[in-house]
Structures are given as C-alpha cells and as structure tokens.
Amino acid sequence: MINQNVFLLRIIYSKQHLVLMEERIHLFVVGTAGCGKSYFTKAFSEYLDFKRIDHAIVNLDPGADFLPYSADVDVREWFTTADVMERYRVGPNGAQIISADLIATKIGDIIDELDLYSAEYVIVDTPGQMELFTFRTSSEIIINEFGKDSCISIYLFDPVISQRASGFISMVFMYSSSVFRLRIPQIPALSKIDMLPEHVVDKIIEWSKDIDTLYSDIMRERDLSGDLFHMMREAGLIRPLVPVSSITGFGMDDVYEMIQDTFYSGEDLESMKY
C-alpha cells in the first residue's frame, strides 16, 4: 500500500468551472462519545478494501486505549492523553483538552506520513468526546491543512438516545453544532441499527424525513419552542438519516455513494448547504 508521494488527481465538475484537485478525499467520522466512530472507521475501511479502493486510516484520538482497526497514521505515535497528564501535571479532563489542542501541532507530520500512501480516501477517526474535536480550533486547522474542498464528514447519531423524539431532536442539535463548526459537507447517519428493533429504526428514519411527524411526537413528550423547531427546519438541519451498522456492514454502500455524489455530482461545492 505504501507508495512514495503519489497523489490522486481528482477532477471535480462544478457548475461554473472545472477544478483539478491534487487531493484525496478526507472523511471525518464525528459524533458523541461511544456513538460508534472507531467501529465505523473499521467497517468503512473493510468496505473500501472489498471495493479495492486505496485508502488510509488516521487515528486522531490520543486517548484511545484500544482501536478495532490498525491505523496507518496514529496521533499516539507522538503523544497520548496519559503522556499529557504526566507532562503537564493535569487530571484526565485537562489532559483531554490539552491533547485535543496539541493534535493541530502534529498536522504537518500527519500529512507527511499520509503522503507515503497512495490513498484515494483517508478515513479520519476523531477523539471519543465530540466537543474535543468539533469545538476546538484543532479541527479547523486540520481541515484547512487537508484542504477544505477535499473534506466531508459523517455524523453518527447515537441509536439509543435517538429512540425518543426528544432524544432525537437533541441529537439534531449536536449534529447542527458540528455543521456550524466544521463547515464541510456532512452526512447524517443513524449508527448501530442492528441494536434496535426494525420498527424503531423505521420510526427514527421517518422523523428525519417527515418533520411534521417529528414535531407532533416531540410535543407529545415535552414542550419545544415552535420558533426554535421552525428555525431548524428552515435552516435545513433536519435531514434524512442514512441507517448504518458497523457490525453487519449495512449502509456502507449508501455512505460511499453519498460521498461520491458530493464530490462528483456536478454540484458547486461552494454553494452547498452545510
């Protein structure tokens, strides 16, 4: 898989112009703690293997004790959250924040290592706690260094929290914060669907597609400001979820097709609604 300095020449047809990009596609896997980011990284990598698509995996979680895949580039090569605790004499929460900020200082090294691979896709597994990535400046720096136009993210909705309408809308708020912070195209997905009965999965997917049903189901559980809800609807933040399972591999082809559509469908990336 290692190939010295080979870049993929990507051609993007936009409405106005043809853009030649010497960049790979970078897929950031984002979501709340335990939503299944690392297992999705593994499952999507296996899917790309199956399709014989060259790719590399980057682990950006310095606090990971165990990863279900073997990372090609791993931030833990440079430091771990445990190292940071010792070096800066801080507790686990402080160390997580410091290490999240330190990731950006290693982006040059990460890119140098990635340049050794002839990867068409780079799957980027992000830190366990979502806010350590999306809310910190590191994410902006990393995305800019990779090249904003080459980045996309998949946002994984936690299946257990999404089972109730009020939990689902809370997940939409979290997803929205990721949309506002990262400013790159995002694919919203429902994670670990093998864990839920089929009718529950269907209900969650229905909420993501039929906003009126979602609103009436939320109001049955608790009050939510109509203005707030309509603002989210108008902003296009409630979007159809792609159901996925990293255990069965369900939905990996849909995710792949959505990524392809985003970059090659002829949409002007600049005008895309994030």
Ligand X SMILES: Nc1nc2c(ncn2[C@@H]2O[C@H](COP(=O)(O)OP(=O)(O)O)[C@@H](O)[C@H]2O)c(=O)[nH]1
Instruction: Kindly list the residues in this chain that would bind ligand X in the complex (CB under 6 A).
Output: 31, 33-39, 128, 192, 194-195, 245-247
Closer CB to Mg ion, residue 63 or residue 185? Answer: 63
Measured from the CB atom, the residue of 178 and 245 that comes closer to ligand X is 245
Binding of residue 38 to Mg ion (CB under 5 A):
yes
As beta bridge partners, residue 29 has: 125, 154
Does position 41 interact with Mg ion (CB under 5 A)? The reply is no
The answer to whether residue 80 forms part of the interface with Mg ion (CB under 5 A) is no
Alpha-carbon distance 48 to 53, whole Å? 5
Least distance (Å) between residue 36 CB and ligand X = 3
Angle, CA 9 vertex, CA 3 and CA 15 arms, to 5°:
160
Name which of 19 and 33 has its Cβ closer to ligand X. Answer: 33
Interaxial angle between packed helices 165-182 and 211-221, expressed in degrees from 0 to 180 and rounded to the nearest 10: 120
* Closest separation in Å from C-beta 52 to ligand X: 23
What's the sign of the alpha-carbon dihedral 158, 173, 187, 221?
A: positive
Our CB check for ligand X shows the closer of 96 and 245 to be 245
Q: How many CA atoms lie less than 13 Å away from 24 in the CB half-sphere?
A: 26
Q: How far is the CB of 259 from Mg ion (least distance, A)?
A: 20
Burial class (CB in 10 A: 0-12, 13-18, 19+), 266: exposed
CB of 1 to ligand X, least distance (A): 23
Binding site for Mg ion (CB under 5 A): 37-38
